[in-house]
Amino acid sequence: MSEAAFIAGDWGTSRLRLYLCDARGSVLARGEGEGASAPDCAGRFAAAVAPWDKAHGVLPAVLGGMVGSTIGWKEVPYLHCPAKPQAIAGAALRFDGQISTFDFRSAASPCYACVFPPDEAFQEVACSTMGVFSPTVGIIGAMQAAEALRVIGGFGGTLEGRLMMLDSLRMEWNTMRIARQADCPVCGSR
Ligand SMILES: [Zn+2]
């Protein structure tokens, strides 16, 4: 059996789907847990991957879905999962997509909470009820892949400090400048 290299997860509103993968991305084992809308997602994630932590050591985790959304995202910085210092955030719902890069190697980089404060009121939205224009996910996903290569390769700069928003109904892009907030509850003490 190939050696486990990372954990991939799709964290939907109602379910967490986990995959233990080897370095080539082949699935070695599957797991699952509750969705991102249930409380204590950090604890539930740690519990869900505990058997794999024990068997293989703590592995990097690559998570998609509702991770980083306002549902439960406050817990994410405390997850027991090593991550690269850069986080590339992308989202898509209905006809709206957005992407930015939060590069914590850079002192000036804002974090997700600088842009979307955790105490801001939000409406719980799920792709299963709101729907998503699927090409929007592909466009944002391809841009995330390009951004990841730019970050890893260190060429061409990054999207740090810029939030790009796609309206795929009118097929228009808007770019918003985003700045680090000194009173941010997540990175203010960084
Ligand atoms: Zn912040």
All structural domains of the chain with their residue ranges: 4-68, 85-177
> Is CATH 3.30.2020.30 what the domain over 85-177 is classified as, yes or no?
no
Q: Where are the alpha helices (DSSP H) in the chain?
A: 41-56, 112-115, 127-130, 134-153
Does residue 164 surpass a pLDDT of 90?
yes
Residue with the larger pLDDT of the pair 85 and 171:
171
Taking the CA atoms of residue 34, residue 98, residue 138 and residue 129 in that order, the dihedral angle to the nearest 10 degrees is 50
Return the structure tokens found at 52: 């794999």
User: What share of the chain in percent tops pLDDT 70?
Assistant: 84
Report the separation in Å between the CA atom of 181 and the middle of ligand 1, taken as the mean of its atom positions.
6
The CA 117 to ligand 1 mean position distance, Å, reads 8
What pLDDT is stored for residue 91 in this prediction?
Answer: 83
Quote the ligand 1 centre to 110 CA distance (angstroms): 5
| Region 114-122 average pLDDT | 76
Average pLDDT of the segment spanning 49-57: 93
- Enter the tokens of residue 147: 């951004």
Type of residue found at 161: G
Sheet holding 61-65, edge to edge: 27-34, 15-22, 4-11, 61-65
C-alpha pair distances (Å), 49 with each of 42, 58, 130? 11, 9, 30
Do 37 and 90 contact (CB within 8 A), yes or no? no
CATH number of the domain at 4-68, out of 3.30.420.300, 3.40.50.880, 1.20.140.10, 3.40.50.970?
3.30.420.300
**pTM of the complete model beyond 0.75:** no
pLDDT, tens only, 88-110: 788 888 899 999 998 877 888 99
C-beta neighbour count of 146 within 10 angstroms: 14
Task: Tell whether the model's pLDDT for residue 80 goes beyond 50.
Answer: no
Q: Is the pLDDT of residue 72 over 60?
A: no
Q: How far is the centre of ligand 1, averaged over its atoms, from the C-alpha of 68 (Å)?
A: 13
- Distance (angstroms) between ligand 1 centre and the Cα of 111 equals 4
